[in-house]
Structure 1
Amino acid sequence: MKPDRRPYRRESEDSRREALIAATQALVAEGGPRAATVRAIAERAGVTPGLIRHYFGSKDELSRAAYRQLIDGMTDKGADALSGVGAAPEERLAAFVAASLRPPVVDAGAVGLWAGYLHTMRADPALLAAHERGYLRYRDVLQGLIAALGRPGVAAAQMRQEAIACNAVIDGLWLEGGVLPHGFAPGELVRIGLASVGAILGTDLMAHGTFIPEIGKAPAGEGETR
């Protein structure tokens, strides 16, 4: 009897899909969406061009899948960080913010990929919908962590606005950290993020983030590089 080879075949298909997504992301980050042609993607991934249609239906669908993976990855990395901390809500919020402001989330390639897609988003409703879904998913996780702080008298409407504000701070630091990684001392983005989010919420996240390596390790002259 011949062995059942389906698990290996399934793994190979998953690997090819990931290779196509990675190739698309790299090309868009390097040269914008126009650089991610069918031929260029297939060559970068080391597969035949026909596999793009086989796995994704079209190059546009592959492009959207690549963008979804980028934005979902940002939320996933923050959520993964929650498994390494205790139940204290301040610690959990601090861990989520910190994970959003260090590699691999803060990355020049990720910013380049995001920027490459940004100018085509309004012309592609499906891509815009993917962006909105990813944004709301991240913000909802953030709002849930804010709600868990249990501050008396803070209504849900206020927490929503706080989540929007905190998300904007994190986005701005992520963008600058990816574009100008040399402009920040090691751990500086995390410390600024925790201090800023804490100020918005009236909570000292720095005091509850002693488990985060970047806390308390500001080098002399921090900030002088900018």
Structure 2
Amino acid sequence: MSTLPPTLGPSFRRAEPDARRLSLIEACARVLAKAGAAGASVRAIAQEAGVSPGLIGHYFGGVDALVTETYAHVDAQVSAALDAAVAAAGGDPCARLEAFVTASFAPPIGTRALLATWIAFWSLVTARGDIARQHDEQYAGYRARLEALLADCGVAADALRLAAISTTALVDGLWLELCLSPGCFTVAEAGAMARRHLDGVISPDRAPG
């Protein structure tokens, strides 16, 4: 007989597997940040999560599948932060575009912890075909969202692809340097550089020479 209160027992049992899966995913992200992809073993992740190593096999079938789901989970968290920034910017298309671009420079995206986890994922792109495909899909989704925001600001359809690629490269570079060397420039300065780039993309005739 269950010792859980009757009113809580069924819902608790339904939620428990999801909660355990999430705890393993979060533990995997922490291990990747601390030890890199090479250190993300079943034993290390289980120890980080405070569970038996057998649970990783039970819920994911192995460490490779867990890393794949962790990559998707971290990407979803980044996407949620970007969505929140765009929503908070209101209805002005250019304000929404600027919010999407500059959100990467501040927490929860602009942090060394996220950078460390992301570097571990990047290190697997050349080693695992499934991670390479996942990387391509995730970045394609980011660029598609950026293209839509650029289009809302009046960027011509034939210019959208390269505008999104150049903006993504700028954001990635600034984000990387901010996380690696935060004393080099500030979040505000990163935002100002990004806005200058966007001004040139949206109104190239008014871009500084």
Deviation at 1:186, TM superposition (A): 4.6
Q: Quick check: 1:106 aligned with 2:110?
A: yes
Task: Tell me, in whole angstroms, the C-alpha distance in 1 between the residues paired with 2:71 and 2:90.
Answer: 32
Percent identity of paired positions between Structure 1 and Structure 2: 33
Match of 1:41 among 32, 45, 63: 45
Deviation per CA, 1:76-107, whole angstroms, max 9, x where unpaired? 21112122122111111111112122111011
Deviation at 1:4, TM superposition (A): 5.6
State the partner residue of 1:166: 167
Matched letter for residue 33 of structure 2:
A
State the partner residue of 1:52: 56
State the partner residue of 2:85: 81
- SS of 2:32's partner is helix
Q: Is the 8 A contact 1:39 1:49 kept in 2?
A: yes
Task: Tell me, in whole angstroms, the C-alpha distance in 2 between the residues paired with 1:85 and 1:183.
Answer: 28
Q: Is the 8 A contact 2:143 2:165 kept in 1?
A: yes
Q: Is the 8 A contact 1:102 1:189 kept in 2?
A: no
Deviation per CA, 1:110-135, whole angstroms, max 9, x where unpaired? 11112222232222111111111110
Alignment of structure 1 residues 21-32 onto 2, 5 Å = 21-32=25-36
Count of residues in correspondence between the two structures = 200
The runs of at least 4 aligned residues of structure 1 exceeding 6 Å deviation read none
Deviation at 1:9, TM superposition (A): 2.3
Task: Tell me, in whole angstroms, the C-alpha distance in 2 between the residues paired with 1:22 and 1:137.
Answer: 23
Q: Is the 8 A contact 1:71 1:131 kept in 2?
A: no
Match of 1:90 among 80, 94, 114: 94
Structure (1/2) with the larger helix percentage = 2
Deviation at 1:145, TM superposition (A): 0.2
State the partner residue of 1:192: 193
Q: Quick check: 1:63 aligned with 2:67?
A: yes
Deviation per CA, 1:138-165, whole angstroms, max 9, x where unpaired? 11111100011135xx2x2311110111
Alignment of structure 1 residues 142-181 onto 2, 5 Å = 142-151=146-155, 154=156, 156-181=157-182
Q: Quick check: 1:128 aligned with 2:137?
A: no
Taking structure 1 as the reference length, what is the TM-score of the superposition?
A: 0.81
Task: Tell me, in whole angstroms, the C-alpha distance in 2 between the residues paired with 1:20 and 1:184.
Answer: 36
Q: Quick check: 1:2 aligned with 2:23?
A: no
Q: Is the 8 A contact 1:169 1:197 kept in 2?
A: no
Q: In terms of mean alpha carbon deviation, does 126-135 or 17-26 score higher?
A: 17-26
Task: Tell me, in whole angstroms, the C-alpha distance in 2 between the residues paired with 1:170 and 1:13.
Answer: 37
Unaligned runs of 5+ in 2: 205-209
Q: Is the 8 A contact 1:20 1:45 kept in 2?
A: yes
Unaligned runs of 5+ in 1: 204-226
Measured on the aligned residues, the alpha-carbon RMSD in Å equals 1.9
Deviation per CA, 1:191-217, whole angstroms, max 9, x where unpaired? 2222222223327xxxxxxxxxxxxxx
State the partner residue of 1:214: none
State the partner residue of 2:184: 183
Q: Is the 8 A contact 1:24 1:66 kept in 2?
A: yes
